[in-house]
Amino acid sequence: MMEKRQIGTSDLSVSKIGLGCMSLGTDETHAKEIVQTALENGINYFDTADLYDFGRNEEIVGSALKDVRDDVIIASKVGNRWNDVEDGWRWDPSKEYIKSAVKDSLSRLKVDYIDLYQLHGGTIEDNFEESIEAFEELKEEGYIREYGISSIRPNVIKRFLSHSSAQSVMMQYSLLDRRPEEWMDLLEEHQVSIIARGPLAKGLLSDKMLSKASDKIRKDGYLDYSYAELEEALGAIRSKASDTRSMNELALQYDLARRGVASVIPGASSTRQLKENIDAVNRPPLSPDELKLLEQLTKISRYEQHRD
């Protein structure tokens, strides 16, 4: 039985690993196999967005979950407006757009409500009162159960914590990107949960490690790490911390050891990949000594360069 955790103070109870649906692809048969594997292994939390594959991802996820709708938590996101821009999308957190976009998402998902609706980003210039008003009205109208924000911008997050009843913040969080740790006390104070995306750091924290490094990472490194520092850190984790655990396991269990983390949502483009991640989170949690060692082997990354 997969352990479930509460999101914020809401009545949303999610499996400690969810499925980040962005990497499912557009082959519906293949995507449904992955979703079915998730369901069979106790995953009840599925995260999509209207932006993924220009809405096709929501359609596939909705179709794959239609027979178990009442047993699952479906999360989607809003704010990136693509239906009127030919070469990409533009940011639109207006009340009018949020209230219209949710109906398009409901239609693609073929559901009556979305369990967790998230603002897909945010800037300090946004009229955030208007965005929050939209989410609050959608809750009252029954189109959504709860709402949150997906952002790594501290000042944007801070405003939502202070002025809304948001239940979650989706943040990129991994052993190689420890920026959210700076904000965990504040999030806990507001009883808001973290949904941890990118827990495997683009595959660098999987057992394939640097073989997953892109040309850009080889040239520029990854966040606070130069490529040489990345080699050193990953080598140290492998040699000093992974006697009895896989890299996947260390990475996912590291995030789950934090009190405020409700769920980790690695993506999966195959059932094999998904099963590896499920096996990793079903192993015993990290001991205090293991956690301390992993903290010592990695950098305490800060948001200093990302204050907007």
Q: What are the pLDDT digits (tens) for 78-90?
A: 977 776 655 666 6
Paired with 144 in beta bridges are 114
Q: How many other CB atoms are found less than 10 A from the CB of residue 68? A: 12
Alpha-carbon gap, residue 46 to 51, rounded angstroms? 15
Q: How does the average pLDDT of the chain come out, rounded? A: 90
- Residue identified by tokens 């079915």 is 36
pLDDT of res. 90: 64
pLDDT of res. 308: 42
Q: What are the pLDDT digits (tens) for 139-150?
A: 999 999 999 999
At residue 30, what are phi and psi to the nearest 5 degrees? -65, -45
Would you kindly state where each structural domain of the chain is located, as residue ranges? 4-297
Tell whether the model's pLDDT for residue 9 goes beyond 70: yes
pLDDT of res. 154: 85
Q: What are the pLDDT digits (tens) for 154-180?
A: 888 888 898 899 999 999 999 999 999
Paired with 278 in beta bridges are none
Tell whether the model's pLDDT for residue 209 goes beyond 50: yes
Strand 114-119 relative to strand 73-78, pairing: parallel
Strand 73-78 relative to strand 13-15, pairing: unpaired
Active-site residue list: 52
pLDDT of res. 261: 98
Is residue 170 a contact partner of residue 195, using CB atoms and an 8 Å limit?
A: yes
Class of 4-297 in CATH: alpha beta
Is residue 197 a contact partner of residue 22, using CB atoms and an 8 Å limit?
A: no
Strand 144-150 relative to strand 114-119, pairing: parallel
| pTM recorded for the entire structure | 0.93
Question: What are the residues whose beta carbons fall under 8 Å from the beta carbon of 174, sequence distance 6 or more?
Answer: 196, 198, 199, 200, 201, 205, 251, 254, 255
